[in-house]
Chain A
Protein backbone atom coordinates (compact mmCIF):
# COMPACT_ATOMS: atom_id res chain seq x y z
CA UNK A 1 0.00 0.00 0.00
CA UNK A 2 1.47 3.32 -1.01
CA UNK A 3 1.52 6.37 1.24
CA UNK A 4 -0.87 8.24 -1.09
CA UNK A 5 -3.46 5.48 -0.84
CA UNK A 6 -3.09 5.45 2.95
CA UNK A 7 -3.80 9.19 3.00
CA UNK A 8 -6.84 8.68 0.76
CA UNK A 9 -8.23 5.91 2.94
CA UNK A 10 -7.78 7.93 6.15
CA UNK A 11 -9.40 10.94 4.47
CA UNK A 12 -12.35 8.80 3.37
CA UNK A 13 -12.82 7.39 6.87
CA UNK A 14 -12.59 10.86 8.39
CA UNK A 15 -15.16 12.31 5.95
CA UNK A 16 -17.55 9.43 6.61
CA UNK A 17 -17.08 9.70 10.39
CA UNK A 18 -17.85 13.45 10.35
CA UNK A 19 -20.85 12.87 8.06
CA UNK A 20 -22.22 10.18 10.38
CA UNK A 21 -21.66 12.44 13.38
CA UNK A 22 -23.48 15.35 11.67
CA UNK A 23 -26.52 13.13 11.23
CA UNK A 24 -26.37 11.42 14.63
CA UNK A 25 -25.53 14.28 17.01
CA UNK A 26 -28.45 15.56 19.08
CA UNK A 27 -27.53 19.24 19.19
CA UNK A 28 -28.35 20.97 15.88
CA UNK A 29 -25.87 23.75 16.56
CA UNK A 30 -23.09 21.18 16.95
CA UNK A 31 -24.17 19.50 13.69
CA UNK A 32 -23.81 22.82 11.86
CA UNK A 33 -20.29 23.33 13.22
CA UNK A 34 -19.56 19.78 12.08
CA UNK A 35 -20.77 20.69 8.60
CA UNK A 36 -18.11 23.42 8.30
CA UNK A 37 -15.40 20.90 9.23
CA UNK A 38 -16.96 18.47 6.74
CA UNK A 39 -16.75 21.11 3.97
CA UNK A 40 -13.05 21.66 4.66
CA UNK A 41 -12.37 17.89 4.64
CA UNK A 42 -14.23 17.61 1.33
CA UNK A 43 -12.01 20.38 -0.04
CA UNK A 44 -9.01 18.12 0.73
CA UNK A 45 -10.75 15.28 -1.12
CA UNK A 46 -11.16 17.58 -4.13
CA UNK A 47 -7.43 18.32 -4.05
CA UNK A 48 -6.76 14.57 -4.05
CA UNK A 49 -9.09 14.28 -7.06
CA UNK A 50 -6.94 16.84 -8.92
CA UNK A 51 -9.74 19.43 -8.93
CA UNK A 52 -8.25 22.49 -7.17
CA UNK A 53 -10.92 24.81 -8.63
CA UNK A 54 -13.66 22.70 -7.08
CA UNK A 55 -11.67 22.48 -3.82
CA UNK A 56 -11.62 26.27 -3.54
CA UNK A 57 -15.34 26.48 -4.27
CA UNK A 58 -16.16 23.74 -1.75
CA UNK A 59 -14.09 25.34 1.01
CA UNK A 60 -15.46 28.83 0.34
CA UNK A 61 -19.12 28.14 -0.49
CA UNK A 62 -19.84 24.54 0.55
CA UNK A 63 -18.18 24.85 3.95
CA UNK A 64 -17.88 28.56 4.61
CA UNK A 65 -20.98 30.37 3.36
CA UNK A 66 -23.38 27.43 3.76
CA UNK A 67 -21.96 26.83 7.22
CA UNK A 68 -22.42 30.48 8.23
CA UNK A 69 -25.99 30.40 6.92
CA UNK A 70 -26.87 27.19 8.78
CA UNK A 71 -25.17 28.21 12.03
CA UNK A 72 -27.11 31.49 11.99
CA UNK A 73 -30.40 29.64 11.42
CA UNK A 74 -29.61 27.04 14.11
CA UNK A 75 -28.93 29.80 16.62
CA UNK A 76 -32.32 31.39 15.89
CA UNK A 77 -34.19 28.08 16.06
CA UNK A 78 -32.49 26.86 19.24
CA UNK A 79 -35.71 27.16 21.23
CA UNK A 80 -37.53 24.68 18.98
CA UNK A 81 -35.02 21.92 19.64
CA UNK A 82 -36.64 20.43 22.73
CA UNK A 83 -40.06 20.11 21.06
CA UNK A 84 -38.54 18.28 18.09
CA UNK A 85 -37.08 15.58 20.34
CA UNK A 86 -40.58 14.17 20.81
CA UNK A 87 -41.05 13.82 17.05
CA UNK A 88 -38.22 11.37 16.45
CA UNK A 89 -39.62 8.38 14.56
CA UNK A 90 -39.86 4.94 16.12
CA UNK A 91 -37.55 1.96 15.68
CA UNK A 92 -39.54 0.61 12.69
CA UNK A 93 -39.24 3.81 10.65
CA UNK A 94 -35.57 4.08 11.53
CA UNK A 95 -34.92 0.50 10.43
CA UNK A 96 -36.80 0.98 7.16
CA UNK A 97 -34.91 4.23 6.53
CA UNK A 98 -31.61 2.43 7.17
CA UNK A 99 -32.59 -0.40 4.81
CA UNK A 100 -33.56 2.12 2.11
CA UNK A 101 -30.34 4.11 2.58
CA UNK A 102 -28.18 0.96 2.39
CA UNK A 103 -30.07 -0.26 -0.70
CA UNK A 104 -29.63 3.04 -2.53
CA UNK A 105 -25.95 3.21 -1.55
CA UNK A 106 -25.37 -0.40 -2.62
CA UNK A 107 -27.02 0.18 -6.00
CA UNK A 108 -24.85 3.26 -6.55
CA UNK A 109 -21.75 1.36 -5.41
CA UNK A 110 -22.40 -1.31 -8.05
CA UNK A 111 -22.55 1.55 -10.56
CA UNK A 112 -19.23 2.96 -9.34
CA UNK A 113 -17.51 -0.42 -9.61
CA UNK A 114 -18.96 -1.01 -13.08
CA UNK A 115 -17.87 2.32 -14.61
CA UNK A 116 -16.57 1.88 -18.18
CA UNK A 117 -12.84 1.79 -18.78
CA UNK A 118 -11.48 3.92 -20.38
CA UNK A 119 -13.87 6.64 -19.25
CA UNK A 120 -15.29 8.90 -21.96
CA UNK A 121 -13.65 12.28 -21.50
CA UNK A 122 -13.86 15.74 -23.02
CA UNK A 123 -10.38 16.72 -21.79
CA UNK A 124 -8.72 16.31 -25.23
CA UNK A 125 -11.46 18.43 -26.86
CA UNK A 126 -11.05 21.10 -24.18
CA UNK A 127 -7.27 21.06 -24.59
CA UNK A 128 -7.52 21.33 -28.38
CA UNK A 129 -9.73 24.43 -28.22
CA UNK A 130 -8.18 26.09 -25.17
CA UNK A 131 -5.97 28.34 -27.32
CA UNK A 132 -8.99 29.92 -29.06
CA UNK A 133 -10.31 31.27 -25.72
CA UNK A 134 -7.06 32.92 -24.65
CA UNK A 135 -7.41 31.70 -21.05
CA UNK A 136 -5.01 29.18 -19.55
CA UNK A 137 -7.27 27.48 -16.99
CA UNK A 138 -9.38 24.84 -18.79
CA UNK A 139 -12.10 25.01 -16.09
CA UNK A 140 -12.50 28.76 -16.64
CA UNK A 141 -12.59 28.13 -20.40
CA UNK A 142 -15.43 25.64 -19.89
CA UNK A 143 -17.29 28.00 -17.54
CA UNK A 144 -17.12 31.08 -19.76
CA UNK A 145 -16.65 29.80 -23.30
CA UNK A 146 -17.48 26.14 -24.01
CA UNK A 147 -20.39 25.95 -21.55
CA UNK A 148 -21.09 29.66 -21.03
CA UNK A 149 -24.83 28.96 -21.12
CA UNK A 150 -24.57 27.07 -17.80
CA UNK A 151 -22.78 29.94 -16.14
CA UNK A 152 -25.27 32.49 -17.46
CA UNK A 153 -28.21 30.47 -16.19
CA UNK A 154 -26.41 29.94 -12.88
CA UNK A 155 -25.93 33.68 -12.40
CA UNK A 156 -29.67 34.10 -13.00
CA UNK A 157 -30.59 31.21 -10.67
CA UNK A 158 -28.57 32.77 -7.85
CA UNK A 159 -30.39 36.06 -8.44
CA UNK A 160 -33.78 34.29 -8.48
CA UNK A 161 -32.92 32.60 -5.17
CA UNK A 162 -32.22 36.03 -3.69
CA UNK A 163 -35.57 37.30 -4.98
CA UNK A 164 -37.18 34.24 -3.39
CA UNK A 165 -35.52 34.97 -0.05
CA UNK A 166 -36.52 38.63 -0.21
CA UNK A 167 -40.10 37.78 -1.06
CA UNK A 168 -40.33 35.98 2.29
CA UNK A 169 -40.12 39.31 4.10
CA UNK A 170 -43.16 40.39 6.13
CA UNK A 171 -45.10 43.08 4.24
CA UNK A 172 -44.10 45.89 6.58
CA UNK A 173 -40.40 45.07 6.20
CA UNK A 174 -40.41 45.08 2.39
CA UNK A 175 -37.67 47.40 1.21
CA UNK A 176 -35.98 47.30 4.60
CA UNK A 177 -32.65 45.96 5.84
CA UNK A 178 -32.02 42.20 5.87
CA UNK A 179 -31.20 40.54 9.18
CA UNK A 180 -31.35 41.86 12.72
CA UNK A 181 -29.46 44.96 13.81
CA UNK A 182 -26.10 43.81 15.15
CA UNK A 183 -25.09 45.21 18.50
CA UNK A 184 -21.58 44.07 19.23
CA UNK A 185 -18.97 45.33 21.66
CA UNK A 186 -16.98 47.84 19.54
CA UNK A 187 -13.79 46.89 21.40
CA UNK A 188 -14.45 43.13 21.26
CA UNK A 189 -12.56 40.45 19.38
CA UNK A 190 -15.14 40.31 16.57
CA UNK A 191 -14.91 44.04 15.88
CA UNK A 192 -11.13 43.80 16.06
CA UNK A 193 -11.06 40.96 13.51
CA UNK A 194 -13.54 42.84 11.32
CA UNK A 195 -11.04 45.69 11.14
CA UNK A 196 -7.97 43.50 10.73
CA UNK A 197 -9.09 40.85 8.22
CA UNK A 198 -10.95 42.71 5.41
CA UNK A 199 -7.85 44.44 3.91
CA UNK A 200 -6.14 41.05 3.67
CA UNK A 201 -9.32 39.28 2.54
CA UNK A 202 -10.04 41.82 -0.18
CA UNK A 203 -6.54 41.41 -1.64
CA UNK A 204 -6.79 37.59 -1.47
CA UNK A 205 -10.30 37.62 -3.00
CA UNK A 206 -9.31 39.88 -5.88
CA UNK A 207 -6.15 37.83 -6.48
CA UNK A 208 -8.11 34.58 -6.64
CA UNK A 209 -10.58 36.25 -8.98
CA UNK A 210 -7.84 37.57 -11.31
CA UNK A 211 -5.65 34.45 -11.30
CA UNK A 212 -8.66 32.31 -12.26
CA UNK A 213 -8.03 32.96 -15.96
CA UNK A 214 -4.84 30.91 -15.91
CA UNK A 215 -4.60 29.04 -12.61
CA UNK A 216 -7.10 27.52 -10.14
CA UNK A 217 -9.42 30.24 -8.89
CA UNK A 218 -12.10 32.38 -10.43
CA UNK A 219 -14.98 34.71 -9.84
CA UNK A 220 -17.12 32.44 -7.64
CA UNK A 221 -14.29 31.68 -5.23
CA UNK A 222 -13.07 35.29 -5.20
CA UNK A 223 -16.59 36.67 -4.82
CA UNK A 224 -17.21 34.35 -1.87
CA UNK A 225 -14.15 35.64 -0.03
CA UNK A 226 -15.19 39.25 -0.64
CA UNK A 227 -18.75 38.45 0.47
CA UNK A 228 -17.37 36.84 3.64
CA UNK A 229 -15.36 39.99 4.40
CA UNK A 230 -18.47 42.14 3.98
CA UNK A 231 -20.51 39.81 6.21
CA UNK A 232 -17.77 39.95 8.85
CA UNK A 233 -17.97 43.75 8.92
CA UNK A 234 -21.78 43.56 9.10
CA UNK A 235 -21.80 40.98 11.90
CA UNK A 236 -19.28 43.00 13.89
CA UNK A 237 -21.73 45.91 13.78
CA UNK A 238 -19.28 48.16 11.91
CA UNK A 239 -21.65 48.47 8.92
CA UNK A 240 -25.27 47.58 8.25
CA UNK A 241 -26.90 45.65 5.46
CA UNK A 242 -28.29 48.03 2.82
CA UNK A 243 -32.07 48.41 2.57
CA UNK A 244 -33.14 46.27 -0.39
CA UNK A 245 -35.01 49.21 -1.95
CA UNK A 246 -31.74 51.03 -2.73
CA UNK A 247 -31.37 51.77 -6.46
CA UNK A 248 -27.59 51.23 -6.54
CA UNK A 249 -28.07 47.79 -5.02
CA UNK A 250 -30.67 46.73 -7.55
CA UNK A 251 -28.63 48.09 -10.47
CA UNK A 252 -25.54 46.18 -9.35
CA UNK A 253 -27.57 43.00 -8.82
CA UNK A 254 -28.79 42.90 -12.42
CA UNK A 255 -25.69 44.46 -14.03
CA UNK A 256 -23.66 41.22 -14.11
CA UNK A 257 -26.21 38.94 -15.79
CA UNK A 258 -27.25 41.83 -18.09
CA UNK A 259 -23.70 42.36 -19.38
CA UNK A 260 -23.40 38.58 -19.84
CA UNK A 261 -26.66 38.49 -21.84
CA UNK A 262 -25.71 41.51 -23.98
CA UNK A 263 -22.27 40.09 -24.83
CA UNK A 264 -23.86 36.68 -25.39
CA UNK A 265 -26.44 37.95 -27.87
CA UNK A 266 -23.90 40.23 -29.54
CA UNK A 267 -22.10 36.98 -30.34
CA UNK A 268 -24.98 35.96 -32.61
CA UNK A 269 -24.12 38.96 -34.82
CA UNK A 270 -20.34 39.09 -34.54
CA UNK A 271 -19.51 35.39 -34.24
CA UNK A 272 -22.51 33.60 -35.69
CA UNK A 273 -23.87 32.03 -32.51
CA UNK A 274 -25.34 33.11 -29.17
CA UNK A 275 -22.63 33.14 -26.46
CA UNK A 276 -19.89 32.72 -29.08
CA UNK A 277 -16.99 35.14 -29.10
CA UNK A 278 -15.51 36.70 -32.28
CA UNK A 279 -12.13 35.31 -33.29
CA UNK A 280 -9.27 36.89 -31.33
CA UNK A 281 -11.51 38.79 -28.91
CA UNK A 282 -12.48 35.94 -26.58
CA UNK A 283 -10.12 36.81 -23.71
CA UNK A 284 -11.14 40.52 -23.34
CA UNK A 285 -14.83 39.60 -23.55
CA UNK A 286 -14.44 36.83 -20.97
CA UNK A 287 -12.62 39.21 -18.64
CA UNK A 288 -15.35 41.85 -19.20
CA UNK A 289 -18.06 39.34 -18.24
CA UNK A 290 -16.13 38.24 -15.16
CA UNK A 291 -15.56 41.82 -13.99
CA UNK A 292 -19.26 42.63 -14.50
CA UNK A 293 -20.37 39.48 -12.67
CA UNK A 294 -18.05 40.04 -9.72
CA UNK A 295 -19.99 42.80 -7.82
CA UNK A 296 -23.27 41.02 -8.57
CA UNK A 297 -21.97 37.77 -7.10
CA UNK A 298 -20.44 39.42 -4.02
CA UNK A 299 -23.73 41.18 -3.23
CA UNK A 300 -25.94 38.20 -4.03
CA UNK A 301 -23.93 35.66 -2.04
CA UNK A 302 -23.66 37.92 1.01
CA UNK A 303 -27.32 38.92 0.93
CA UNK A 304 -28.40 35.28 0.57
CA UNK A 305 -26.66 34.62 3.89
CA UNK A 306 -28.11 37.81 5.43
CA UNK A 307 -31.63 36.54 4.69
CA UNK A 308 -34.99 38.19 4.25
CA UNK A 309 -35.55 41.86 5.13
CA UNK A 310 -36.69 42.12 8.74
CA UNK A 311 -36.59 45.79 9.63
CA UNK A 312 -38.91 48.55 8.52
CA UNK A 313 -37.29 50.59 5.73
CA UNK A 314 -35.87 54.01 6.65
CA UNK A 315 -37.99 56.90 5.49
Chain B
Protein backbone atom coordinates (compact mmCIF):
# COMPACT_ATOMS: atom_id res chain seq x y z
CA UNK B 1 0.00 0.00 0.00
CA UNK B 2 1.38 3.42 -0.90
CA UNK B 3 1.02 6.74 0.92
CA UNK B 4 -1.83 8.30 -1.15
CA UNK B 5 -3.97 5.16 -0.88
CA UNK B 6 -3.35 4.90 2.86
CA UNK B 7 -4.35 8.51 3.50
CA UNK B 8 -7.23 8.15 1.04
CA UNK B 9 -8.61 5.35 3.20
CA UNK B 10 -7.94 7.44 6.32
CA UNK B 11 -10.00 10.25 4.71
CA UNK B 12 -12.83 7.83 3.99
CA UNK B 13 -12.85 6.68 7.62
CA UNK B 14 -12.94 10.32 8.77
CA UNK B 15 -16.03 10.92 6.64
CA UNK B 16 -17.67 7.90 8.28
CA UNK B 17 -16.74 8.98 11.82
CA UNK B 18 -17.95 12.53 11.15
CA UNK B 19 -21.22 11.34 9.63
CA UNK B 20 -21.92 9.18 12.69
CA UNK B 21 -21.20 12.10 15.03
CA UNK B 22 -23.37 14.44 12.97
CA UNK B 23 -26.39 12.15 13.35
CA UNK B 24 -25.90 10.92 16.91
CA UNK B 25 -24.82 14.00 18.86
CA UNK B 26 -27.79 16.25 19.69
CA UNK B 27 -25.82 19.43 20.48
CA UNK B 28 -25.62 21.89 17.56
CA UNK B 29 -22.03 22.80 18.37
CA UNK B 30 -21.02 19.13 18.25
CA UNK B 31 -22.85 18.76 14.94
CA UNK B 32 -20.81 21.68 13.56
CA UNK B 33 -17.67 19.93 14.83
CA UNK B 34 -18.71 16.62 13.24
CA UNK B 35 -19.46 18.43 9.99
CA UNK B 36 -15.93 19.84 10.07
CA UNK B 37 -14.62 16.28 10.46
CA UNK B 38 -16.55 15.22 7.34
CA UNK B 39 -15.17 18.28 5.56
CA UNK B 40 -11.60 17.50 6.52
CA UNK B 41 -12.13 13.93 5.31
CA UNK B 42 -13.32 15.20 1.93
CA UNK B 43 -10.34 17.58 1.76
CA UNK B 44 -7.94 14.77 2.64
CA UNK B 45 -9.41 12.50 -0.05
CA UNK B 46 -8.96 15.30 -2.58
CA UNK B 47 -5.40 15.80 -1.32
CA UNK B 48 -4.60 12.10 -1.70
CA UNK B 49 -5.82 12.29 -5.30
CA UNK B 50 -3.68 15.41 -5.81
CA UNK B 51 -0.65 13.47 -4.53
CA UNK B 52 -1.31 10.74 -7.08
CA UNK B 53 -1.08 13.43 -9.76
CA UNK B 54 2.58 14.12 -8.96
CA UNK B 55 4.48 14.83 -12.16
CA UNK B 56 7.26 16.91 -13.71
CA UNK B 57 9.10 17.30 -10.43
CA UNK B 58 6.05 18.55 -8.49
CA UNK B 59 5.09 16.58 -5.37
CA UNK B 60 1.42 16.77 -6.30
CA UNK B 61 -1.00 18.34 -8.74
CA UNK B 62 -0.96 22.06 -7.78
CA UNK B 63 -4.50 22.73 -9.02
CA UNK B 64 -6.32 20.58 -6.40
CA UNK B 65 -3.86 21.85 -3.77
CA UNK B 66 -4.86 25.45 -4.53
CA UNK B 67 -8.54 24.50 -4.47
CA UNK B 68 -7.95 22.86 -1.07
CA UNK B 69 -6.59 26.10 0.37
CA UNK B 70 -9.69 27.88 -0.94
CA UNK B 71 -11.86 25.11 0.51
CA UNK B 72 -10.32 25.27 3.99
CA UNK B 73 -10.83 29.04 4.16
CA UNK B 74 -14.44 28.77 2.98
CA UNK B 75 -15.10 25.95 5.49
CA UNK B 76 -13.82 28.21 8.26
CA UNK B 77 -16.13 31.04 7.12
CA UNK B 78 -19.12 28.71 7.06
CA UNK B 79 -18.22 27.39 10.52
CA UNK B 80 -18.00 30.95 11.87
CA UNK B 81 -21.46 31.73 10.46
CA UNK B 82 -22.92 28.51 11.91
CA UNK B 83 -21.41 29.21 15.34
CA UNK B 84 -22.79 32.77 15.25
CA UNK B 85 -26.25 31.35 14.48
CA UNK B 86 -26.04 28.94 17.43
CA UNK B 87 -24.89 31.70 19.78
CA UNK B 88 -27.75 33.96 18.64
CA UNK B 89 -30.20 31.10 19.22
CA UNK B 90 -28.76 30.74 22.72
CA UNK B 91 -29.14 34.48 23.39
CA UNK B 92 -32.74 34.46 22.17
CA UNK B 93 -34.02 31.19 23.61
CA UNK B 94 -31.66 30.49 26.52
CA UNK B 95 -31.05 26.99 25.22
CA UNK B 96 -29.68 25.50 22.02
CA UNK B 97 -31.76 22.37 21.66
CA UNK B 98 -32.80 21.18 18.22
CA UNK B 99 -35.52 18.91 19.62
CA UNK B 100 -38.82 19.74 17.87
CA UNK B 101 -41.07 19.53 20.95
CA UNK B 102 -38.79 21.35 23.39
CA UNK B 103 -40.53 24.24 25.17
CA UNK B 104 -38.93 27.55 24.20
CA UNK B 105 -38.15 29.11 27.54
CA UNK B 106 -37.13 32.74 27.49
CA UNK B 107 -33.93 33.49 29.44
CA UNK B 108 -34.37 34.95 32.90
CA UNK B 109 -34.04 38.65 32.35
- The 8 Å CB contact of A161, one of B7, B43, B45, B77, is B77
Q: How far is the CB of B87 from chain A (nearest CB, A)?
A: 6
Assembly CA distance A138 to B13 (angstroms): 30
Tell whether B83 is near chain A: CB-to-CB under 8 Å: yes
Q: How many residues of B contact A (CB 8 A)?
A: 81
Do A168 and B88 contact each other (CB < 8 Å), given the known contacts A32-B33, A45-B7, A104-B16? Answer: yes
Closest to A116 in B: B52
B24 touches A28 (CB 8 A): no
- The 8 Å CB contact of B74, one of A38, A98, A157, is A157
Do A120 and B90 contact each other (CB < 8 Å), given the known contacts A48-B3, A102-B16? Answer: no
Assembly CA distance A98 to B23 (angstroms): 9
Q: How far is the CB of A160 from chain B (nearest CB, A)?
A: 8
B14 touches A19 (CB 8 A): yes
Closest to A127 in B: B56
B57 CB contacts on chain A under 8 angstroms: 127
Tell whether A287 is near chain B: CB-to-CB under 8 Å: no
B91 touches A170 (CB 8 A): yes
Do A122 and B60 contact each other (CB < 8 Å), given the known contacts A5-B3, A8-B7? Answer: no
Would you list the 7 A-B pairs with minimal beta carbon distance, nearest first?
Answer: A50-B59, A105-B16, A121-B53, A161-B77, A23-B21, A142-B66, A87-B26
Given A5-B1, A127-B56, 12 more A-B residue pairs with CB atoms under 8 Å apart are A16-B10, A23-B20, A51-B59, A80-B27, A87-B26, A89-B23, A97-B24, A100-B20, A104-B19, A119-B49, A123-B63, A141-B62
